[in-house]
Structure 1
Amino acid sequence: MDTAPDRITFRDAAETDVAALVTLIESAYRGDTSRTGWTTEADILDGRRTDPDGVREVIASPAGRLVVVEQDGEPVACCQLERRGHAAYFGMFAVSPALQGAGLGKRIIAEAERRVTEEWGADEMQMTVISVRDDLIAWYERRGYRRTGRMFPFPYGDERFGIPLRDDLQFELLVKQLPAGGALRP
């Protein structure tokens, strides 16, 4: 298996990417295929992680973009970037389970931080992570993110976010200060 993430490119997602991105995101987080990677949520959530309408909504958002990461022309990862005043939000992050652990995630988050700093003048990156995902939170902490202790309720009963297998799920806000990227850009 070639897991070298050397031949990757980044581009904004388009409508033609929707089906492939839904498949990618689902494979990274839900079901048995997600268990081959370390980002699986299969033990805490059942059901879907996203659907075509959810992906289309992110692609169409005037405040953000969905970045597709390709290796040899095939989508292998993605992330959402959204402007929030002086900050940017990082979400919908998925890496193909076959490529997890090879350093691709580090490259993607570094590129995302570079883009929001240079293109939007953001001085902070924000994200929400399910608070019981200790391994994932530790990975983000090694990338310079810090826990804020600010919690947000998990949307129990809204199956667009999955079917919880536990009753203690909530989101925690993580933040990272970014290097000065200049004035906020329109």
Structure 2
Amino acid sequence: MSVAADSAVLTFRAAGDADVPAIVALVESAYRGDVSKKGWTTEADMLEGQRTDPDGVADLIARAYSRIVLAERAGELVCCCHVEKQGDAGYFGMFAVSPTLQGGGVGKAVLAQAERVARDEWGCARMEMTVITIRDSLIAWYERRGYVRTGVKKPFPYGDERFGIPKRDDLEFEILSKDLR
């Protein structure tokens, strides 16, 4: 499937095992280290260490009713996300846009594609995600796209370096939800 975003055509496809290194590199560049600071989604001020790893990405690709959606422009990976059917909801996560392309419509197009997969292919009634509660601008971005804060909080996995090394002691997640019907 193709969509125009930022005046260039995006093509979507499901990730395969050969895509794992590129996905890990994209996710790390969007959230960690100095390169992530070129975009607005960086978590570098609150977390260091890894955001994901090859084993974790490969596991998501291998699961039933789980897909890593890749968005490419002229054959170059520019965005990815993970969408998974969990009961009657789709779960949205591991959303990463190349830092130099953030704010240009790519993310909005990929989010819409993930919602389409959950609704049209898997029959999900809603999409859910977890967002770190102190990420006000990110939460506002999702709210502009129809997501609502549920008030349901989940603890941050302190001590599990697979999710990063916190620089703060006040991190927690909140579930955001959107009706897809």
**TM-score after normalising by structure 2:** 0.95
**Matching residue within 44, 51, 54 for 2:53:** 51
The superposition leaves residues 78-98 of structure 1 with CA deviations (integer Å, 9 ceiling, x where unpaired) of 010100111100001000001
Unpaired runs of 5+ residues, structure 2, are none
CA distance, structure 1, for counterparts of residue 57 and residue 7 of structure 2 = 24
What's the secondary structure of 1:40's corresponding residue?
coil
The superposition leaves residues 84-137 of structure 1 with CA deviations (integer Å, 9 ceiling, x where unpaired) of 111100001000001100011111111111121110111100000011100100
Larger strand percent: 2
CA distance, structure 2, for counterparts of residue 157 and residue 85 of structure 1 = 29
Output the amino acid matched with 1:93: F
Partner of 1:148: 150
CA distance, structure 2, for counterparts of residue 96 and residue 174 of structure 1 = 23
Partner of 1:132: 134
What's the secondary structure of 1:82's corresponding residue?
strand
The superposition leaves residues 11-61 of structure 1 with CA deviations (integer Å, 9 ceiling, x where unpaired) of 010111011110000000000000000000000000010011111111111
Output the amino acid matched with 2:12: F
Partner of 1:184: none
Output the amino acid matched with 2:37: R
Q: Percent identity?
A: 62
Partner of 1:23: 25
Greater CA deviation, 58-67 or 167-176? 58-67
Alignment of 1:11-160 (within 5 A): 11-160=13-162
Partner of 2:12: 10
For residue 6 of structure 1, report the CA deviation from its aligned partner.
Answer: 2.5
For residue 74 of structure 1, report the CA deviation from its aligned partner.
Answer: 1.1
Partner of 1:166: 168
Q: Deviation above 6 Å: which 4+ runs of structure 1? A: none
Unpaired runs of 5+ residues, structure 1, are 180-186
Output the amino acid matched with 2:28: E
For residue 4 of structure 1, report the CA deviation from its aligned partner.
Answer: 2.8
For residue 5 of structure 1, report the CA deviation from its aligned partner.
Answer: 5.4
What's the secondary structure of 2:38's corresponding residue?
coil
1:5–1:103: 8 Å Cα contact kept in structure 2?
no
Output the amino acid matched with 1:38: W
Output the amino acid matched with 2:56: G
**TM-score after normalising by structure 1:** 0.93
What is the Cα-based RMSD across aligned positions, in Å?
Answer: 1.0
